[in-house]
A and B are shown apart, each in its own frame.
Chain A
């Protein structure tokens, strides 16, 4: 396995369904991210986990619930979604360097995404 993998690649669900998206990174990174990619909009950062702790939640509706059981796995649990939630959901990982080091950076590596359609 290389890089960042995501399953499923495509998902169609009704508004009353509950489903989960899975992301796995094989790069030894310590930070993982969920992004939403919609047409004609910038990538929207949804959640960030660093060292398995959630460090950012960008005002995402509670119908999206992330879970990071360890540094290699990240889930996005979905329930009672709306049609406007249809989008490509991207997972990314990076090696987070603790703040305080002036030369810190985090190049992010992306998975292929899950194309979600909510009917």
Chain B
């Protein structure tokens, strides 16, 4: 069975600081990888996704993530965070074979102080 681990449950940063949120998954086969974001009071939105090709994926709002297959990781990064990035971030994985159930991590709550 697949599983997803997000190492940081809470992160507090000042504006302009750099961000890296860890995500590791366990699954032996080929996967698709996602980062979703949930802003306060809003619904889950897709931030970025990786299916194939360049392992460095660019998403919305200046976010990017790098797929490192050998480490089973898909860490999310942003060079300079803003107060508006305060949200909860979820990493998710689904396997390419069989029914494509999406498995989520527990989420990382990011607070950016102005």
Contacts from A to B (Cβ < 8 Å): 4, 33, 40-43, 45, 48, 50, 55-56, 90, 92, 94, 96-97, 99, 102-113
**Which chain A residues lie closer than 8 Å to B105 at the CB level?**
42
B31: nearest chain-A partner, CB-CB: A105
Interface residues on B, range: 20 to 34
6 CB-based A-B contacts, threshold 8 Å? A41-B106, A42-B106, A43-B90, A45-B101, A45-B102, A103-B96
Report the minimum CB–CB distance from B44 to chain A (whole Å).
4
B88: nearest chain-A partner, CB-CB: A37
Inter-subunit contact A105/B51 (CB<8 Å): yes
Bound form: Cα–Cα A97–B51 in Å: 14
Inter-subunit contact B52/A40 (CB<8 Å): no
Known A90-B44, A106-B94, A112-B43; contact A42-B104, beta-carbon cutoff 8 A = yes
Inter-subunit contact A104/B96 (CB<8 Å): yes
Inter-subunit contact A112/B106 (CB<8 Å): no
Known: A42-B104, A105-B51, A111-B43. 8 other contacts (CB 8 A): A42-B4, A94-B100, A99-B97, A103-B51, A104-B96, A106-B100, A106-B102, A110-B44
